[in-house]
Amino acid sequence: MGANLKVELIAYTPEAEKIVASAAKLCYSRVGISEIGENLDKENIEKFLNMLLDLGHESPVEHVSFTFAIEGVSRSLTHQLVRHRIASYSQQSQRYVKLDQFEYIVPPSIEEDERAKELFIKAMEEDQRVYNELVDILSKKHYEKLISEGKNEKEAKRLSEKMAIEDARYVFPNACETKLVVTMNARSLLNFFRHRCCNRAQWEIHNLADEMLKKVKEVAPTIFKFAGPSCVYDKCHEGSMSCGKMMEVRERYLNL
């Protein structure tokens, strides 16, 4: 069963842009944070943040964070995502969740080719069949052992299934769909967008980054005004490996 990407911004720091402006101003002020906040209206906040980000002073944006609920992504994607280490991740466990019918992500290049899609789906179905068979075999094996060790039937059944799916999951492919909650501070997100909104990023994590960027722009538009790949606000950092579409990319992200 194919799965579709779903991204929801489930929590974020209230008055995020005011907090960033207040924190940055405190570094150069003799007064306290309360007094600084009293003198900050929407226009002043926007003006100050634009100046701050134009100068490349990003450390104050670490004070605000954003939490996303993400579904319909592959294990292949999450292997890339966790490389962004300044973040918090909670992912659906294949050790504790039995996948009676796992969902999977179909790459566009396979989706658009009838024969390739047929082979791909056949492989997914075979993985599910083998998983189910392994769970049955291993559950019976562990159940008999646990009973012989003195466990009651109810406890032996519960533990044996858990032990079975822990090893049976090894047959699942990178395409296997997963769900997770991700929290990043704004500076980490800016870095994430620089790398993953780039045309050279892998298609699936690129799509995820675009959806996350849309969500944060709705609640913190000034902080993320120039968010996206490096060519949105500067030259392309890919050098000779550039996609060569800087103006097209810049226009797209400034109007996202």
Q: Can you tell me which residue has the tokens 């909650």? A: 181
Catalytic residue check, 196: yes
Beta carbons within 8 Å of 138's beta carbon, 6+ residues apart: 160, 163, 164, 167, 168
If you compute the radius of gyration of the chain from its CA atoms, what whole number of angstroms results?
24
Question: How far is the C-alpha of 247 from the C-alpha of 230, rounded, in Å?
Answer: 12
Beta carbons within 8 Å of 205's beta carbon, 6+ residues apart: 77, 80, 81, 196
Question: How far is the C-alpha of 99 from the C-alpha of 136, rounded, in Å?
Answer: 13
Enclosing H/E stretch for 88: strand 88-91
Give the active site residue among 75, 194, 196, 250.
Answer: 196
> Active-site positions?
196
